Amino acid sequence: MARKRKGQPIHGWLVVDKPEGVTSTQALAKVRWLLNAEKAGHGGTLDPLATGILPIALGEATKTVSYVMDGTKVYRFTLKWGERTTTDDREGPVIERSGVRPARERIDSALGAFLGDIQQVPPQFSAIKIDGERAYDMAREGETVELAARTVRIDRFELVSLPDGDHAEFEVQCGKGTYIRALARDLAVALGTVAHVTLLRRVRVGRFGLENAISLDDLAALEQGAAVERLLLPIETALDDIPALALTDAEAHRLKHGQTVTLLTRMDRERLKDVRDHVGGDGTALALCSGKPVGLVRVEGAEIRTVRLFNIS
């Protein structure tokens, strides 16, 4: 006999403002416990040092986590000039010093070289696996970790302020896999100095921003039902860039039973045209029935095939 899952079947997204000193896994576990949720996952890890947006997928929303992780992120961070650490943030010991403090004009002129697709070597203290072992575990044991450069995308990189001679505040909009600690490290090198991140805050992940977020403490102060009713965002919030395809009850029924739906009438062709005008490169669309998500489908000519169904009663 299959073991029954514990918790309530809650479906949707909850946006947490993660505090400093808490891992993403710990924040996820706290949310799941507070809501008594049957199933949960998060949409992109934040370092314990970092604060800010941690989207939590509940129930069937976990099937859309990859779309959130692939989405654009916005970070605000503060770096300290003149000190390089082992971790490229304030948690590691200082291993190099410099007396160079770049002026605003030099910083502004250097930022352009970091826009677009750039090559970035991740920090040694990162979660990347090498032969099955985490890089940060190897680095903690004193091993020299050689990580290959990877392509990341930087859409925007702005100097926000210079609060004093030793610190600078920035805002970055970037794509998947970008390490802000590495970006700060490389910017300092380009300016002829060294630096490390002292504060890091993620303010947006795709559609999820601070305007949607709640702290763990505030969440704990709410009753479970009230928290879900007030704060839960629909599953499709994570699929904002994917076109929607409206289905009839009969078409949705066929998809749910593993059958292909063929759309051939003139009205059907109009429906498909609207989808094809906006469909992604892989032909994926969000199937809806009476405004409720049915699942992710692939449009192949006049045929609609199931990619992932949402099991929502």
Q: What's the per-residue H, E or C state across 297-311?
A: EEEECCEEEEEEECC
Q: Which residues contact 126 (CB under 8 A, 6 or more apart)?
A: 135, 136, 147, 179
d(CA 5, CA 34): 16
Assigned token pair, 15: 């946006």
DSSP class of residue 123 equals P
Beta bridge partners of 150: 120
> Would you name the residues annotated as active-site residues?
47
Residue 28 main-chain phi, psi, to 5 deg: -60, -45
For residue 251, give the amino acid letter. Answer: E
Tokens of 67: 């779309």
Neighbour tally for 53: CB within 10 Å: 26
Crossing angle of helices 24-35 and 224-231, rounded to 10°: 110
Neighbours of 251 (CB within 10 A): 20
Give the C-alpha separation, 248 to 198, whole Å. 54
Contact between residue 233 and residue 68 where contact means Cβ atoms under 8 Å apart: no
Can you read off the two tokens belonging to residue 199? 């504060």
Share of the chain residues as helix, strand and coil, in percent rounded to the nearest 5 = 30, 35, 35
Residues 6+ apart with CB under 8 A from 50: 18, 20, 200, 201, 202
The count of C-alpha atoms lying within 13 angstroms of the C-alpha of 110, restricted to the half-sphere facing its C-beta, is: 18
